[in-house]
Structure formats: structure tokens, C-alpha cells
Amino acid sequence: MKGTFTKHYDGRAVLDGFTLDIHEGDIVRIMAPSGGGKTTLLRLVSGLEENECGLGNDFARHTFSWVFQEDRLTDSMSGLSNIRLATRGKVDRATILCAFEELGLDDPSKRVDECSGGMKRRMALIRAMLDDGDVIILDEPFTGLDSDARALACRFIEHHRHGRTLLLVSHEEDVLPIHVDRTVSLLP
């Protein structure tokens, strides 16, 4: 899978002809300093931002399942309802309940606005991993998780990836208990 990406914000190039060339099914970690264009690259790859580069983009024909930097869950609904609706009813209740258990979450019917930041983060991860997108994008998925929850989350990701390509952004200092096939650096 290969794509070349360019993006300017207010006349400043955040990415200028950056080529992302990865193997299908790889786990790819994207690293860059803060403000270095990690999220912009993910948004360009998934088509949420318009790519200013006219060259070919293999990613355009894929579907994506995201963990955004923010959880982007509906506060007035339960975690279970959020996941069922976001996966368009394709994932049954039992599978979601199992996923909650795997990640140490106890009450799937609890309203999201009554949950802690760490719980919401794990719900966002369940949503992305149970969805059927070809490419999984995880933008700082471990924010707000302690080391135990992080280990559970990594195991959960490996269990539910089913050989799909995974693009992962996490803090540079994070040591992740997950096998990464490739690390891509956005350093100038």
C-alpha cells in the first residue's frame, strides 16, 4: 500500500510529498515530535482530509476504523449502544459484552457521560477493533490508561486485528507491549 501526501495549513506545509509505503497487514507505528503531522497523515490516509498531492494513493480504496484522539462517543447513550450503532448492527451484543470483559470494563449499559476517561478510551478502542474496516487507525489509543489497562488493550488489539493493517500513533516515550512490524518517522 502506497500513497504520497501533501498538506498545507495557513500556507505552512505540514506534509510535503511524504510517501507512506507499507505492506498490507502490517502493524505500523508512526512517530514524530508533537505537531509533526502524525494526525494529519492519518487523516489524509483515511480520506478525512483532502490530499493536495495528485499522485496515486492506494489507501483511497480501503475502509477505515478509527480511534480518534478524542473518544467521539455519544454521551447520552451507553457504551453498548454506541458500539452497536457505530458498527451498523453488524456486531452482536454477546461479542460486545465479551470485548468489554476482555478490557476489564464491567457495565456496558452505563451511560458514557458517567464513565471515566480511561473507560471511554477503551470503549473507543472496542468500537474500532470490532468494526470491519480494512485498515485500523489508532491515534494515541492508550491515553489515560495505566500500565495494566495498556497491556490488556494491546492484547485486545492483537486478538481482534485478524491480520488487518494497523496504523498506530502513540507518544514517543511509550514502550508498547505489542509487536510492531515497522516504524515510520516523520522527522524532517
For the bound state, the minimum distance from the C-beta of residue 100 to other proteins, rounded and expressed in Å, comes to: 15
Query: Is 51 one of the binding residues for other proteins (CB under 8 A)?
Result: no
Report the residue from 31, 77, 151, 154 that binds other proteins according to the rule CB under 8 A.
Answer: 77
Residue 82 interacting with other proteins (CB under 8 A): yes
Residue 84 in the binding site for other proteins (CB under 8 A): yes
At 63, which helix (H) or strand (E)? none
Among 19, 63, 147, 183, which residue interacts with other proteins (rule: CB under 8 A)?
Answer: 63
Cβ closer to other proteins: 80 or 119?
80
Phi-psi region of 145 (alpha: psi -120 to 50; beta: other; left: phi over 0): beta
113 touching other proteins, by CB under 8 A? no
Subset of 130-159 contacting other proteins (CB under 8 A): 131, 133
100 binds other proteins (CB under 8 A): no
Positions that interact with other proteins (CB under 8 A): 46, 48, 63-66, 68, 70, 72, 74-78, 80-82, 84-88, 111, 127, 131, 133
